[in-house]
Structure 1
């Protein structure tokens, strides 16, 4: 039978109910139904007979179970579909032979028996209709469910990983694109994930950089929302971005013209000391106190040497687009000076900022702008 408790068959007058597969509520009337007194479940007889005469993809007839609100054993198997890992409804399906629980969506739309994604793997992957503990070769995460397997290459992967993991991406923790692989290869010694800094298991899959042989990232870490911008870059030509220097050296003395002060020449002073408490670096707005700095030969403009060398573009841990260095963008006006607000630390300052004008960020009410000190 399709249920694990005895059922009584009878007629129900003016009785309305919803079926477990969200079939519309029946109109009031007299219907032939199956009823389970122990579970308080009622099934329309014609629907139940037609539906449960068919076998699931495991070639067994599923049974309807009513999940205990408080399971006797604290196990995720009592709460989640073994195929899609969606949370099970109170009433759900189970194959008692395979010992797997199945959610409503997977009953209505069963997972495919085979998946062919040639960009990820050249062979078809077959659904293993056994609940097993395995480590996914695509993401390196251990799990208990039904994986897709390739016997020839000894691969076991999640359905999500073979269908949804992007092949080529950019992340805000690295300057180059990174590519997904099922096998990171033999690393030299212990390597750390470029995002979480935890150990990388080189026997499983992840993301690697073709330019930096020692760089690798866990699949789950690389695709986190705050790390990846959500764009799949496979088949998208990679444009070599020209590195724009923040200044130009103009003579043998090492004098420079900085992009933020192009009208005058700046000269390096290795140990500049001043009693002027208002003399502050125009970039970080911190005091100049014996630090190497670039001073303008014609006005009071001054930059710390470190600030003068800040890159025109950079990636930041707090944002997943490249940021551009800008000079004193106005957010609001206080007295006669201009200020902006850093979205990371909420500091108000009139120094330099790193801003994002990429994609939808340019249209945000709260602009993406970071103080250079953040």
Structure 2
């Protein structure tokens, strides 16, 4: 046995060591290991035991009597724990015994560790559940000793326990893997780095620290398993039983590698983007060196590598959540329970699923709210939430901060206290006012189409329309623009209503986006079909529709498209949309609703820093729709977190139309397909058909597409001519890039690319994928003999490299 006095260096600070024990042989072995290899004179030693509360075990079906837990008394438990501490007494180490009762041993150990302010906790492995929980959630160092031949031990190491360190150190020496208690000198190297801890610093590099777990970090960042022997490897794993162990230290060492703490005034914090001047910060030198080349491009791998100490240190106790420590972590889309905003970096308690953003965590806590607009009395912070229902939104959200009135039975979420009084949403033409009074009417929410409980607050039309919305639905970001309109005069909407063309004479107009030429109304519905002639607005081929055609060029518009308003409010977006036209035809856009690329007209949001765009077909979809393939009305829904599959095409969708009575869902792409189209090899119109009950066993048998000769299933929507028994897939008739017209071009990788009709007798070879170009359009590099089959191939860099 090593001599603690001679083998361990002295430390100016006294360590407070906890040994978690159970009434088992493994715990006795853990205490013996701690005496032999870890504890030194001067340590404050506490033997910690959590005994379960009384309960039933051994229950089974049948007549067997239920056996209760053995009736250990407090005295008998204390006596058994004292027996486990005999090695400490024999070695001359003073110690105290601390026993508590709790039904949740894992959580109670973490709480006692924090309450007793332990420097380190030593414990046995057991079945791995308790030790693994403590490793991830204790705020101090955790040393896990695995009993020889126990779970997770290595064959051939009967007399050699595996010891795993999870350390939060601020010493100059590295902590390496302690696999066996071979010699006192070996263990001296591991334990030396844990001798002095003034506070609880970070365990490892913030890049790994921010991730939800280390397995996710490893899978996300590394193309292949990193070389553990390489000095550039800097991932610390807290998962017991694998080969990834601590290779990090807290201060800068003479080799210039590891985790450092210091001052660097010319850099900015990765979290708050403020200067590091005059502050204490964290950094990982390995992340700042070229040796980090295995990292893939991601949010974490592009980080600057510097972090304010105040930005990322754990918070041991917060007034809003005093029970557990809050750990700073990275996870996309975390919701702060105080301000209800989405944050990627936030403080989090994994035990309670409590999340708070950095700004709210650093602000002084708000224990009382005096807001007469919402409630006449002062509201006080209510710590124990349980399943209380908010009197404003009518929801029970255990993750939100609650405030209650001590004078009356009123409970409200913090974010619901400050709901606006007057708002304007995208789903209604008039303003809405906040209303908390009880009414006998039955309402349906104008956003989610669910019933409204009039016992709770809601928003209703200020002009008396039969329109109401849940308070939560009305304040959604995709519905409300975030402006409080109380006291603001109403805008005169007539100022924004104006025609998109001037009528020159009977049937002749001047379109506001084609003023150089006049356009004439063409009422001939029996014109010859040319699939290359398309409406410049919606990009669909011209069939038997009334059209306006330019008298001097090939500019064509459907009559309905010519009447599109230059400015409109659409139910899918809270801001007004403006009609934009690329007159040079040198660009394209992607529709936010249907996700298809187009070079036609676009309705684009006019708000700053908002990239919302709709093609004119999707912009024509109303909030409620009667579709010929469904007997019930369908309504506009957008829930990015709860996507569904389109009932026709089967694609996973966010923006969609849902039936309020059944599970029918329709994507914008299917909802905007023309009812009828022409096919150059058929004299009749092809009608868009959908049969949800089609099985392929009818008398007509399975349908085959005329173009690709593959099976065409009416359950997924097809174009059919019943007179000629012709069936085509939607993409085979309109093309894969069905909203891209063979006009103009685009710029790809600094190369001008023309968009041409693919009507040659021979199909060109795509420069990128080396397949024949089969689509309706083809992309040709200007000033080169290079052809590309699709927009995907066109936007890929590899074809430019090959061509050069």
Q: TM-score, normalised by structure 2?
A: 0.31
Residue 14 (structure 1) aligns with: 15
CA contact (8 A) 2:504 2:510 kept: no
Residue 588 (structure 2) aligns with: 340
For 2:504 and 2:464, locate their aligned partners in 1 and report how far apart those are by CA, in whole Å: 36
Change (3 A) 1:289 1:84: closer
For 2:376 and 2:350, locate their aligned partners in 1 and report how far apart those are by CA, in whole Å: 37
Residue 308 (structure 1) aligns with: 562
- The answer to whether residue 465 in structure 2 is matched with residue 213 in structure 1 is yes
Which secondary structure does the structure 1 equivalent of 2:451 belong to?
Answer: coil
| 1:141 shift after superposition | 1.6
For 1:235 and 1:354, locate their aligned partners in 2 and report how far apart those are by CA, in whole Å: 30
For 2:606 and 2:385, locate their aligned partners in 1 and report how far apart those are by CA, in whole Å: 48
Residue 609 (structure 2) aligns with: 360
| 1:287 shift after superposition | 1.6
Which secondary structure does the structure 1 equivalent of 2:463 belong to?
Answer: coil
1:373 pairs, out of 602, 611, 617, with 617
Residue 72 (structure 2) aligns with: none
Residue 333 (structure 1) aligns with: none
Which secondary structure does the structure 2 equivalent of 1:370 belong to?
Answer: strand
CA contact (8 A) 2:422 2:485 kept: yes
For 1:251 and 1:84, locate their aligned partners in 2 and report how far apart those are by CA, in whole Å: 56
Deviations 1:51-110 (A, max 9, x none): xxxxxx9xxxxx9799xxxxxxxxxxxxxxx99999756599xxxxxxxxxxxx99x977
Residue 148 (structure 1) aligns with: 404
Change (3 A) 1:275 1:238: same
Which secondary structure does the structure 2 equivalent of 1:279 belong to?
Answer: coil
After superposition, the CA RMSD in angstroms is 4.5
- The answer to whether residue 526 in structure 2 is matched with residue 273 in structure 1 is yes
Deviations 1:101-131 (A, max 9, x none): xxxx99x97763x532123344444667886
Residue 159 (structure 1) aligns with: 414
2:447 pairs, out of 195, 202, 206, with 195
| 1:303 shift after superposition | 1.6
| 1:351 shift after superposition | 1.5
- The answer to whether residue 503 in structure 2 is matched with residue 250 in structure 1 is yes
Change (3 A) 1:151 1:311: farther
| 1:346 shift after superposition | 4.7
- The answer to whether residue 291 in structure 2 is matched with residue 37 in structure 1 is no
Change (3 A) 1:360 1:87: closer
For 1:213 and 1:205, locate their aligned partners in 2 and report how far apart those are by CA, in whole Å: 17
Deviations 1:146-191 (A, max 9, x none): 6524867x754223311x323333433334443322237443x4x3
CA contact (8 A) 2:424 2:480 kept: yes
| 1:308 shift after superposition | 1.6
Q: Rg: which structure is higher?
A: 2
Change (3 A) 1:300 1:223: same
Change (3 A) 1:32 1:178: farther
Which secondary structure does the structure 2 equivalent of 1:285 belong to?
Answer: coil
Which secondary structure does the structure 2 equivalent of 1:221 belong to?
Answer: helix
**Number of matched residues?**
294
More helix by share: 2
- What does 1:108-123 correspond to in 2, within 5 Å? 112=367, 114-123=368-377
CA contact (8 A) 2:529 2:543 kept: no
1:136 pairs, out of 381, 390, 406, with 390
For 1:232 and 1:291, locate their aligned partners in 2 and report how far apart those are by CA, in whole Å: 45
1:261 pairs, out of 514, 517, 520, with 514
What stretches of structure 2 of length at least 5 have no aligned partner? 1-12, 19-39, 51-107, 118-318, 326-336, 341-346, 354-359, 619-804
What stretches of structure 1 of length at least 5 have no aligned partner? 1-11, 18-27, 46-56, 58-62, 67-81, 93-104, 331-336, 362-366
Change (3 A) 1:257 1:84: closer
For 2:583 and 2:350, locate their aligned partners in 1 and report how far apart those are by CA, in whole Å: 52
Change (3 A) 1:158 1:267: same
For 1:111 and 1:192, locate their aligned partners in 2 and report how far apart those are by CA, in whole Å: 35
Which secondary structure does the structure 2 equivalent of 1:373 belong to?
Answer: helix
